[in-house]
Structure 1
Amino acid sequence: MKSLIQAVIVAATLAAPAAVFAQSNQPLTRAQVREQLIQVEKAGYNPATSNPTEYPANIQAAEARAAVQNSALGGIVSGSSQQGRAVATQ
Protein backbone atom coordinates (compact mmCIF):
# COMPACT_ATOMS: atom_id res chain seq x y z
CA MET A 1 0.00 0.00 0.00
CA LYS A 2 2.85 2.33 0.85
CA SER A 3 4.50 1.78 -2.54
CA LEU A 4 1.18 2.52 -4.28
CA ILE A 5 0.92 5.89 -2.52
CA GLN A 6 4.50 6.69 -3.45
CA ALA A 7 3.84 5.74 -7.06
CA VAL A 8 0.78 8.02 -7.18
CA ILE A 9 2.77 10.92 -5.69
CA VAL A 10 5.61 10.43 -8.17
CA ALA A 11 3.17 10.22 -11.10
CA ALA A 12 1.36 13.38 -9.99
CA THR A 13 4.66 15.22 -9.55
CA LEU A 14 5.79 14.26 -13.04
CA ALA A 15 2.42 15.08 -14.65
CA ALA A 16 1.99 18.54 -13.06
CA PRO A 17 4.61 20.39 -15.17
CA ALA A 18 3.19 18.86 -18.36
CA ALA A 19 -0.29 20.12 -17.49
CA VAL A 20 0.99 23.62 -16.77
CA PHE A 21 2.96 23.70 -20.02
CA ALA A 22 -0.05 22.55 -22.03
CA GLN A 23 -2.19 25.36 -20.63
CA SER A 24 0.37 28.07 -21.41
CA ASN A 25 0.84 26.92 -24.99
CA GLN A 26 -2.46 28.25 -26.32
CA PRO A 27 -2.51 29.74 -29.83
CA LEU A 28 -2.83 33.49 -30.15
CA THR A 29 -6.16 34.99 -31.12
CA ARG A 30 -6.51 37.26 -34.12
CA ALA A 31 -6.93 40.24 -31.79
CA GLN A 32 -3.70 39.40 -29.92
CA VAL A 33 -1.73 39.13 -33.16
CA ARG A 34 -3.15 42.46 -34.35
CA GLU A 35 -2.24 44.09 -31.01
CA GLN A 36 1.32 42.76 -31.26
CA LEU A 37 1.64 44.07 -34.82
CA ILE A 38 0.45 47.52 -33.74
CA GLN A 39 2.97 47.52 -30.86
CA VAL A 40 5.84 46.62 -33.18
CA GLU A 41 4.79 49.27 -35.72
CA LYS A 42 4.66 51.88 -32.94
CA ALA A 43 8.17 50.79 -31.97
CA GLY A 44 9.41 51.74 -35.44
CA TYR A 45 8.92 48.69 -37.66
CA ASN A 46 7.29 49.32 -41.02
CA PRO A 47 6.61 46.15 -43.03
CA ALA A 48 6.07 48.16 -46.23
CA THR A 49 9.60 49.54 -46.22
CA SER A 50 11.31 46.47 -44.79
CA ASN A 51 14.32 45.11 -46.68
CA PRO A 52 14.02 41.29 -47.00
CA THR A 53 17.72 40.81 -46.26
CA GLU A 54 17.46 42.83 -43.05
CA TYR A 55 14.05 41.48 -41.97
CA PRO A 56 15.08 39.32 -39.00
CA ALA A 57 17.27 42.01 -37.44
CA ASN A 58 14.72 44.79 -38.03
CA ILE A 59 11.74 42.93 -36.55
CA GLN A 60 13.77 41.67 -33.59
CA ALA A 61 14.98 45.19 -32.82
CA ALA A 62 11.41 46.52 -32.99
CA GLU A 63 10.16 43.67 -30.77
CA ALA A 64 12.89 44.47 -28.24
CA ARG A 65 11.89 48.16 -28.22
CA ALA A 66 8.23 47.17 -27.78
CA ALA A 67 9.15 44.87 -24.89
CA VAL A 68 11.06 47.70 -23.19
CA GLN A 69 8.08 50.02 -23.64
CA ASN A 70 5.73 47.38 -22.20
CA SER A 71 7.94 46.74 -19.19
CA ALA A 72 8.36 50.47 -18.54
CA LEU A 73 4.62 50.97 -18.68
CA GLY A 74 3.75 47.88 -16.70
CA GLY A 75 2.52 45.98 -19.73
CA ILE A 76 -0.50 46.31 -21.93
CA VAL A 77 -3.82 45.82 -20.23
CA SER A 78 -7.09 45.55 -22.09
CA GLY A 79 -9.95 47.60 -20.79
CA SER A 80 -10.43 51.17 -19.79
CA SER A 81 -9.65 53.30 -16.81
CA GLN A 82 -10.57 56.70 -15.52
CA GLN A 83 -8.50 59.13 -13.54
CA GLY A 84 -9.44 62.07 -11.40
CA ARG A 85 -11.72 62.50 -8.48
CA ALA A 86 -15.44 62.35 -8.19
CA VAL A 87 -17.30 65.59 -8.60
CA ALA A 88 -19.70 66.32 -5.78
CA THR A 89 -23.12 67.34 -7.03
CA GLN A 90 -25.36 69.44 -4.87
Structure 2
Amino acid sequence: MKSESMNQYAGFPLLRFVIAGVMAMASSASVYAQMVSEPEPHQVTRAEVRHELEELEAAGYNPSMGDDGSYPADIQAAEAKVAAMHRAERAAATSAGQSGPQVHTH
Protein backbone atom coordinates (compact mmCIF):
# COMPACT_ATOMS: atom_id res chain seq x y z
CA MET A 1 0.00 0.00 0.00
CA LYS A 2 2.86 2.32 0.76
CA SER A 3 4.30 1.84 -2.73
CA GLU A 4 1.05 3.05 -4.36
CA SER A 5 0.97 6.23 -2.28
CA MET A 6 4.68 6.84 -2.94
CA ASN A 7 4.13 6.53 -6.70
CA GLN A 8 1.28 9.02 -6.47
CA TYR A 9 3.50 11.66 -4.84
CA ALA A 10 6.50 10.89 -7.03
CA GLY A 11 4.57 12.05 -10.12
CA PHE A 12 3.88 15.58 -8.80
CA PRO A 13 7.40 17.02 -9.23
CA LEU A 14 7.47 15.63 -12.75
CA LEU A 15 4.05 17.10 -13.48
CA ARG A 16 5.15 20.50 -12.15
CA PHE A 17 8.28 20.32 -14.31
CA VAL A 18 6.22 19.50 -17.41
CA ILE A 19 3.76 22.32 -16.73
CA ALA A 20 6.60 24.80 -16.19
CA GLY A 21 8.21 23.66 -19.45
CA VAL A 22 4.97 24.05 -21.40
CA MET A 23 4.43 27.54 -19.96
CA ALA A 24 7.97 28.57 -20.84
CA MET A 25 7.59 27.34 -24.42
CA ALA A 26 4.23 29.08 -24.79
CA SER A 27 5.58 32.41 -23.57
CA SER A 28 8.65 32.22 -25.81
CA ALA A 29 6.43 31.34 -28.79
CA SER A 30 4.27 34.37 -28.01
CA VAL A 31 7.30 36.67 -27.91
CA TYR A 32 8.59 35.21 -31.19
CA ALA A 33 5.18 35.66 -32.85
CA GLN A 34 5.13 39.33 -31.82
CA MET A 35 8.61 39.87 -33.22
CA VAL A 36 7.85 38.13 -36.51
CA SER A 37 4.49 39.81 -37.15
CA GLU A 38 5.93 43.35 -37.21
CA PRO A 39 7.22 44.10 -40.71
CA GLU A 40 10.47 45.91 -41.22
CA PRO A 41 10.03 49.57 -42.17
CA HIS A 42 10.69 50.28 -45.83
CA GLN A 43 14.04 51.97 -46.41
CA VAL A 44 13.55 54.58 -49.14
CA THR A 45 16.14 54.31 -51.88
CA ARG A 46 17.92 57.22 -53.49
CA ALA A 47 16.17 56.43 -56.78
CA GLU A 48 12.76 56.66 -55.08
CA VAL A 49 13.62 60.04 -53.55
CA ARG A 50 14.85 61.36 -56.92
CA HIS A 51 11.68 60.09 -58.63
CA GLU A 52 9.50 61.80 -56.02
CA LEU A 53 11.41 65.07 -56.45
CA GLU A 54 11.03 64.85 -60.24
CA GLU A 55 7.27 64.34 -59.84
CA LEU A 56 7.04 67.33 -57.46
CA GLU A 57 9.02 69.52 -59.86
CA ALA A 58 6.75 68.46 -62.74
CA ALA A 59 3.77 69.47 -60.57
CA GLY A 60 5.19 72.98 -60.08
CA TYR A 61 7.46 72.77 -57.04
CA ASN A 62 10.78 74.57 -57.42
CA PRO A 63 13.28 73.51 -54.72
CA SER A 64 15.79 76.17 -55.79
CA MET A 65 13.48 78.93 -54.52
CA GLY A 66 14.59 78.19 -50.96
CA ASP A 67 12.60 79.62 -48.08
CA ASP A 68 10.83 82.41 -49.93
CA GLY A 69 7.92 82.57 -47.53
CA SER A 70 5.70 80.24 -49.55
CA TYR A 71 7.63 77.06 -48.73
CA PRO A 72 5.07 74.89 -47.02
CA ALA A 73 2.24 75.95 -49.30
CA ASP A 74 4.09 75.38 -52.59
CA ILE A 75 5.33 71.88 -51.78
CA GLN A 76 1.98 70.91 -50.29
CA ALA A 77 0.23 72.05 -53.46
CA ALA A 78 2.66 70.02 -55.57
CA GLU A 79 2.18 66.96 -53.31
CA ALA A 80 -1.61 67.29 -53.70
CA LYS A 81 -1.25 67.39 -57.50
CA VAL A 82 1.02 64.33 -57.50
CA ALA A 83 -1.37 62.46 -55.18
CA ALA A 84 -4.30 63.29 -57.47
CA MET A 85 -2.31 62.08 -60.47
CA HIS A 86 -1.52 58.79 -58.69
CA ARG A 87 -5.19 58.34 -57.75
CA ALA A 88 -6.22 58.91 -61.37
CA GLU A 89 -3.62 56.40 -62.58
CA ARG A 90 -4.82 53.78 -60.06
CA ALA A 91 -8.45 54.40 -61.03
CA ALA A 92 -7.61 54.00 -64.72
CA ALA A 93 -5.67 50.80 -64.04
CA THR A 94 -8.50 49.43 -61.90
CA SER A 95 -11.18 50.21 -64.48
CA ALA A 96 -9.04 48.69 -67.24
CA GLY A 97 -8.61 45.54 -65.14
CA GLN A 98 -12.32 45.29 -64.39
CA SER A 99 -13.38 45.57 -68.00
CA GLY A 100 -11.20 42.58 -68.84
CA PRO A 101 -9.98 41.61 -72.25
CA GLN A 102 -12.24 42.22 -75.18
CA VAL A 103 -13.32 39.02 -76.90
CA HIS A 104 -14.32 39.33 -80.53
CA THR A 105 -16.54 36.66 -82.01
CA HIS A 106 -16.87 36.16 -85.75
Counterpart position of 1:41: 57
Counterpart position of 1:3: 23
Which 5+ residue runs of structure 2 have no aligned equivalent?
Answer: 1-20, 91-106
Structure with the higher helix share, 1 or 2: 2
Which 5+ residue runs of structure 1 have no aligned equivalent?
Answer: 75-90
RMSD (CA atoms): 2.1
Counterpart position of 2:32: 12
- Take 1:46 and 1:40, find their aligned partners in 2: how far apart are those partners? 8
Counterpart position of 1:73: 89
- Structure label with greater radius of gyration: 2
Q: TM-score, normalised by structure 2?
A: 0.54
- Ranges of 4+ aligned residues in structure 1 off by more than 6 Å: none
- Take 2:87 and 2:41, find their aligned partners in 1: how far apart are those partners? 20
Residue correspondences, number: 70
